[in-house]
Amino acid sequence: MSWTGHAADFNAWRDQARALYRAQLPPHQVHWDDAAQPSLLSDGGNLPAPVRAGPRVPKTLLAQLERAAACRIEQRWNLLYRVLWRVAEGDRSAMLAGDADGSQLVQRLTAVRREVHHMHAFVRFQPAPDGLPLDLIGWHQPRHQILRWVGDHFHGRLGRRRWLLATPDDGALHGDGEQVHWLAQCPPDWASAARGAAGEGDPMWERYFSSTFNPNRLNPQAQLRHMPRRFLAALPEGALSARLIQATRRGAAPEVVRSGAPLRIKSAPPAEAEPAEPHRDNQAGRADKDR
């Protein structure tokens, strides 16, 4: 017997995984796909009848599985079911980094944690345009589905202001001053305003970024490790950063680089034309002198 599971989110996967475990269907008899992209092998039938109790696993594992489910990767649900099955059967090595499945689980948790850090660091809110019931709007393009993990962070920093953080394909977060709501479908005018504000210049922020830029410690490679290039277009300092690096490489003085003033590159004077045959001319000159 085999079965195809469909899961668009963790809750849908968890309910089906529990039923499949109770039906005693091992991982090699189950194929998972995203509900948004149904498999051609989809049977579309009801869940199989239970023959035993549900899985008993540590709460920490459920938390890890839920967080790893945010990682956008092909076949993401298959790994989660294998780990769940093995741990429920008493094999807790599936949770360890030294195990083949555990290693993949740890890698996904690391990827999600890193993407959460990126969203904390690289979201720049802008004042909302007139006509919207919002104070601030922001736009971010995360690699993984991490919106639910960042709501408390921004809620704690923005206080009672009304804000929106929109993404291209993972809905949006909306803070109404009291609570944070996840919007599966962001209102089109809100999403359009947030997308349009991404990357807009902000004189105050650019002045701050310029004043803290230290050309003596310029290391673009290290900077890209902490600030991936894919985020630069949505940051107000994205274009400014490139100009500062260029000014430093051209040898501008630190105070000029920090000021953000346009560079004046002195062009080199044209080289004097050298005689085509200097040796022969010198010989001719010496001959004239002798006469």
CB 32 within 8 A of CB 78: yes
CA-CA-CA-CA torsion sign (197, 123, 155, 190):
positive
193 in Cβ contact with 174 (< 8 Å): no
**pLDDT at 69 exceeding the cut of 50:** yes
pLDDT digits (tens, 9 = 90+) for 208-245: 888 888 888 888 888 788 888 888 888 888 788 888 88
First to last CA, the chain: 114
In the chain the beta strands, taken as DSSP E runs, fall at: 3-6, 30-33, 126-127, 136-139, 163-166, 172-175, 180-183
Task: Give the pTM.
Answer: 0.76
Report residue 225: phi and psi, to 5°: -65, -35
Q: Write the pLDDT tens digit of every residue in 30-51.
A: 988 876 555 444 455 577 889 9
Backbone phi, psi, residue 162, to 5°: -95, 125
Identify the three-state secondary structure at position 164: strand
Per-residue pLDDT tens over the stretch 187-204: 999 999 999 888 777 788
Cβ contact 138:123 at 8 Å: yes
What confidence score (pLDDT) does residue 34 get? 76
Strand order through the sheet with 136-139: 126-127, 136-139, 163-166, 172-175, 180-183
Residue 78 confidence (pLDDT) above 60: yes
Mean pLDDT of the chain: 83
Pair of tokens at residue 113:
């944690």
- pLDDT of the residue at 129: 93
Instruction: Give, as one character, the DSSP assignment of residue 59.
Output: H
Alpha carbon distance 207, 213 (integer Å): 10
Residue linked to tokens 């690391």: 110
Supply φ then ψ for residue 81, to 5 degrees.
Answer: -70, -35
At 201 the pLDDT is: 74
